[in-house]
Amino acid sequence: MIRLHDLLRSPPIITALIIGVALRVVLALVTPVGGASEAGRLSSYNDEIAHLSYVRHVLESGRLPEQAESIQAQGALARGAFENYQPPLYYAVVAAICRLAGQRDLAQLALVGRLTALVCSLMLLWILLRIATELSLQPERVAAAVVFWALNGVMMRFGSTAGNDALFWVCAGGMMLTALRMERSDSGLRDFLSFGAFAVAALYTKLSALILLPLPFLAWGRNTRGRWFMQCVVMMLLILAAAGTVWWRNVHSFGSLLPLDSGFGAAHWRVPDLLSVGYAIRSFFFPWHELWRAAIGLTLMAPLMLIACAGVVSRTQWHALWRAPVLLVALILTFIAYLGLNLRYDQAEARYLFAAWPALAVLLSLPLRTQAARWVLVVASLLPYALMLLPSVAS
């Protein structure tokens, strides 16, 4: 396995890791809890209060909420019930920790929820290094992937915010790691059980896990056993059955197996406009929308966008994914699901693409062989965060 110790010999990589972890901790501690988003000032993400309301309901009643309202409803942001349709694992974990610690105040719930997300975010680094080992990535590419984990805006914000994204990324990363092992070796019961455990945990965290369930079937061609396909079918049925309480709750409380309308509002066919595309692009690099400064933000983001574009158009970068069909298919399925979501709802946030975050890390990890090139990547990744300093500088 590629060891973190080896990467720490590179000054730009250790700098990125220190800054990435430190920023996560600082943001978890200083980001205000709740309140209206105010332009130019760091604020809580607009759905964090809804996640905390879910946790508080579980903590106080010992039961899951049975009613949800669309975020489109007037006053929904303040009432914070639009995340109630989510599966319960993250909220049950945070509520259990709060109960053990005797924490009941909203600010205390927020701190526990954020620190839980932070721990999950740190676990992602271990999963990334395991995936890099499975793929036998060059050390230069692993270093760039580590910088992506450390400083990407989406992974930063949702690794320090109370919400179920970071826990879902852990489960999704585990599914992809185990599917890679299936693809590259004669898998036994251990790999089946590992994938099943990650998949069930993912379904109890976010139903986006359904996107990744087909991944084990990709190992069919690499295994000579004729029963592989049927084994995968049986595993899928067992996974779906193990999540039976999620399906029952969705139908009983929210009226459908996939109750997206409960959170997003009534669906209608739409063609995303250029504003939605622009929003998706900038939210991929810097999702603190309250700190966005138009031309200034675009200028600070431009170097990192150019580096990312170099990865997207590089045949070498795509070749690494071609050699790992699990990651390639995970990225394709996630993009199709993201496109479908935006054809029915106005949800252009790039964080929904991070269901396939290991594939994004591999695709955008340019093999920077010199220390100078790595410093350029680190500086380019840090430039958008200068937007956080502008309000204090202006005052």
Are 105 and 73 a contacting pair, CB within 8 Å? no
The structure's pTM equals: 0.94
**Is there a domain that residue 318 lies in?**
yes
Distance CA 288, CA 44 (A): 9
**Is there a domain that residue 265 lies in?**
no
**Is there a domain that residue 264 lies in?**
no
**One-character DSSP codes across 5-57:** HHHTTSHHHHHHHHHHHHHHHHHHHHSPPSS---TTS----TTHHHHHHHHHH
**Is there a domain that residue 27 lies in?**
yes
Which residue range(s) make up the domain with 208? 4-259+271-394
**Is there a domain that residue 266 lies in?**
no
**Is there a domain that residue 62 lies in?**
yes
Q: Is 191 helix (H, G, I), strand (E, B) or coil?
A: helix
Count CB-CB contacts under 10 A for residue 4. 15
**Is there a domain that residue 97 lies in?**
yes
User: Number of structural domains, the chain?
Assistant: 1
Per-residue pLDDT of the chain (395 residues; tens, 9 = 90+): 666 666 778 899 999 999 999 999 999 999 999 876 777 888 888 889 999 999 999 999 999 998 888 888 888 887 888 999 999 999 999 999 999 988 888 999 999 999 999 999 999 999 999 999 999 998 899 999 999 999 999 999 999 999 999 999 999 999 999 999 988 776 678 888 999 999 999 999 999 999 999 999 887 656 555 677 888 899 999 999 999 999 999 999 999 999 999 889 888 898 988 999 999 999 999 999 989 888 999 999 999 999 999 999 998 899 889 989 999 999 999 999 999 999 999 899 999 999 999 999 999 999 988 999 999 999 999 999 999 988 654 43
**Is there a domain that residue 307 lies in?**
yes
Cα-atom radius of gyration of the chain, to the nearest Å? Answer: 21
